[in-house]
Chain A
Amino acid sequence: GAGVSQSPSNKVTEKGKDVELRCDPISGHTALYWYRQSLGQGLEFLIYFQGNSAPDKSGLPSDRFSAERTGGSVSTLTIQRTQQEDSAVYLCASSLEGFEQYFGPGTRLTVT
């Protein structure tokens, strides 16, 4: 079946602009996660959604980062007023609750 998909695959933006990254999880997966992969910090957890529960936002690095999940499916990660240190690969994953996480191919964000 279809895996986790993310769009765009690459995004180049100017410093100070806002960006939106999209994630389509595996159908039927109730949990959705965002991670960030950067050279300096490795793989870091950002945010977690599970069903209708309040999301776990404990990994978001600043208030410029936000995410939402509409209808328990698609999720959008928004970065406002992007900075150069936001350049990274943003990975989305989904799972059934309590089971292993399946990752998408990622969105490579470059802030110039």
Chain B
Amino acid sequence: GNSVTQMEGPVTLSEEAFLTINCTYTATGYPSLFWYVQYPGEGLQLLLKATKADDKGSNKGFEATYRKETTSFHLEKGSVQVSDSAVYFCALLRPHGNKLVFGAGTILRVKS
């Protein structure tokens, strides 16, 4: 079946530190991959996406590269800010599918 595995949190970093949140997936075919972010008290927001192998999604300083060979879509940011504190969800959408399959979410806490 289709599934997404994310690193467990919480991840606690100091401001300006480098961030990596690991995400691996299992899927039939070649899914589209997404990172969603949920800020405290708010709904899910699409952060970035990639639809085919070697695509790099980027937004707000965050990046993730679709790696088919390792079935991974790790989220990275070079210098985090306190305002990046949120829950991050990795998700996949299988080809011609309609339902997102989410990972468990990773809590990120950034301290000033």
Residues of A within 8 A of B (CB): 4, 31, 33, 35, 42-43, 45, 48, 50, 56, 58-59, 91, 93, 100-106
Contact = CB atoms under 8 A, between A and B. Distances in A.
Q: Which of the listed residues A31, A42, A91 has the most CB atoms from chain B within 10 Å of its own CB?
A: A42
B102 A103 contact: no
Contact of B98 (A31, A43, A102, A103): A31
A45 B4 CA distance: 14
B43 A45 contact: no
B19 interface: no
Contacts of A59: 99
15 contacts: A4-B43, A31-B98, A33-B98, A33-B100, A42-B104, A43-B89, A43-B105, A45-B101, A48-B99, A50-B98, A56-B99, A91-B44, A103-B36, A105-B42, A106-B43
Contacts of B49: 100
A104 B43 contact: yes
A106 B87 CA distance: 15
B46 A102 contact: yes
Contact of A103 (B45, B99, B104): B45
B98 A100 contact: no
